[in-house]
């Protein structure tokens, strides 16, 4: 599809990640992954990523066995130590390809700042994990025409200082907070406008050529009923899916992205 190309004209592979959030322990998670695995493997045009809770990663890894990639939902930036309750990048190595960082629920409920997200993103690169870094404005910001300022601050604060030569490993998820779990998705045009802004900010940091290889997803109330609209926009490289990733609708979303981006 025109526009979805990276450095050297290489096509950016669409990526659809399922953020299970705090759902599915090891037994349920393994069963659900088993139930959708074959269908996901049959859609190789799209990179599917399952992001179970940390405690479920090993069980899901046992059934996916590398055939579908996994992501963690969070991690700390230190490799080990006295950080009760945290998961380190080294613990994720071998289990996960990706790690979601700076999700708005982490930022909102657990006080994560751009600075912390940035340290985590740097650690992800250091330990060979690919970060999916989330940015997105609140409804108040959008209504006050502050989306651009807000996103610019988040991108600069969360995504500076990463290794430019490996930037194609970065995925950014644009997730307007007002669209998450509300059933009120952004329009594809609104999402694409912010995705362009994200790319422009990244280009200021790293140069346009490098940034052409970075994939940017949309997230927020994505379902199989609305994904086609987002996938049809060349600026949007896929989706970060919450609620719908807990059901077979996730497969329908991946299938639709494959067809539309075809």
Task: Give contact residues for ligand PGA (rule: CB under 6 A).
Answer: 19, 175, 180-181, 219-222, 240-244
Q: Which is nearer to ligand PGA, 60 or 244 (CB)?
A: 244
Residues 6+ apart with CB under 8 A from 4: 11, 12, 14, 234, 237, 261
Q: Which is nearer to ligand PGA, 24 or 206 (CB)?
A: 24
Query: Of 105, 112, 169, 175, which residue is the catalytic one?
Result: 175
Q: How far is the CB of 15 from ligand PGA (least distance, A)?
A: 13
- N-term to C-term CA, the chain: 7
Tokens of 34: 């088993």
Q: Which is nearer to ligand PGA, 71 or 243 (CB)?
A: 243
Contact 202, 247 (CB under 8 A): no
Q: How far is the CB of 10 from ligand PGA (least distance, A)?
A: 27
Q: How far is the CB of 117 from ligand PGA (least distance, A)?
A: 15
Residue whose C-beta lies closest to ligand PGA: 242
Contact 6, 212 (CB under 8 A): yes
Q: How far is the CB of 16 from ligand PGA (least distance, A)?
A: 11
Among all chains, which residue has been given the structure tokens 């610019």?
152
* Distance separating alpha carbons of residues 156 and 115, to the nearest angstrom: 10
Query: Of 61, 103, 105, 229, which residue is the catalytic one?
Result: 103
Q: Which is nearer to ligand PGA, 75 or 240 (CB)?
A: 240
Query: Is 28 among the residues known to form the active site?
Result: no
CB atoms within 10 A of CB 205: 16
Query: Is 175 among the residues known to form the active site?
Result: yes
Contact 52, 60 (CB under 8 A): yes
List, by residue number, the catalytic residues. Answer: 103, 175
């Amino acid at each position: 599809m025109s526009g979805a190309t990276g450095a050297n004209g290489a096509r950016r592979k669409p990526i659809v990640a399922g953020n299970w959030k705090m759902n599915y322990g090891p037994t349920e998670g393994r069963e659900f992954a088993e139930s959708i695995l074959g269908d996901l493997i049959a859609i190789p045009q799209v990179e599917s990523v399952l992001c179970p809770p940390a405690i479920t990663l090993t069980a899901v890894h046992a059934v996916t066995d590398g055939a579908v990639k996994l992501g963690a939902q969070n991690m700390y930036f230190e490799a080990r130590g006295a950080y009760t309750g945290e998961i380190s990048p080294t613990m994720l190595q071998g289990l996960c390809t990706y790690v979601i960082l700076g999700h708005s629920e982490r930022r909102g409920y657990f006080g994560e700042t751009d600075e912390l997200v940035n340290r985590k993103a740097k650690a992800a690169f250091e330990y060979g994990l690919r970060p999916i870094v989330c940015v997105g404005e609140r409804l108040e910001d959008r209504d006050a025409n502050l989306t651009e300022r807000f996103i610019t601050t988040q991108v600069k604060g969360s995504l500076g200082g990463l290794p430019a030569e490996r930037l194609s490993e970065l995925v950014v998820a644009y997730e307007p907070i007002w669209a998450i779990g509300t059933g009120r998705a952004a329009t594809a045009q609104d999402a694409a406008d912010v995705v362009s802004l994200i790319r422009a900010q990244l280009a200021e940091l790293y140069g346009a050529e490098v940034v052409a290889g970075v994939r940017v997803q949309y997230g927020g109330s994505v379902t199989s009923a609305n994904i086609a609209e987002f996938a049809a926009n060349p600026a949007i490289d896929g989706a970060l899916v919450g609620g719908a990733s807990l059901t077979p609708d996730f497969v329908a979303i991946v299938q639709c992205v494959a067809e539309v981006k075809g």
